[in-house]
């Protein structure tokens, strides 16, 4: 499957911070889909359910001085979001 087939509905990108690095990702999409946008091959090969049942796609988002664990397939990326940790079940480089 071509990356354009998955992401062609996106008309703009937003900036989020992933592990200390600012990255441009599609607006109005889940964190997991944004990770796939950045690293299509590795994330696509991860053994995930993509619907929240397995809970293996957990990431940690900075909120003030704390981190909050969220399920990346069910949480949309927001401009300025800071992801501080990613589950080792997600293959992301």
- Unique residue bearing structure tokens 């091959």: 41
Q: Which domain holds residue 9?
A: 3-86
Residue 56 reports pLDDT greater than 50: yes
For the chain, the average pLDDT equals 91
- How many domains, the chain? 1
CATH code where residue 43 lies: 3.10.20.30
Report whether pLDDT(8) > 80. no
Asked if the structure places residue 68 within a domain, the reply is: yes
Instruction: Return the pLDDT at 2.
Output: 52
pLDDT tens per residue across span 15-54: 999 999 999 999 999 999 999 999 999 999 999 999 999 9
């Amino acid at each position: 499957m071509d990356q354009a087939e998955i992401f062609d509905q996106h008309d703009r990108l937003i900036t989020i911070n992933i592990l200390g690095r600012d990255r441009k990702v599609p607006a109005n999409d889940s964190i997991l889909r944004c990770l796939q946008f950045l690293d299509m091959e590795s994330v696509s090969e991860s053994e995930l359910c993509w619907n929240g049942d397995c809970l293996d796609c957990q990431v940690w988002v900075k909120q003030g001085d704390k981190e909050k664990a969220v399920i990346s397939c069910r949480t949309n990326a927001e401009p300025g979001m800071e992801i501080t940790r990613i589950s080792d079940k997600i293959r992301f480089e």
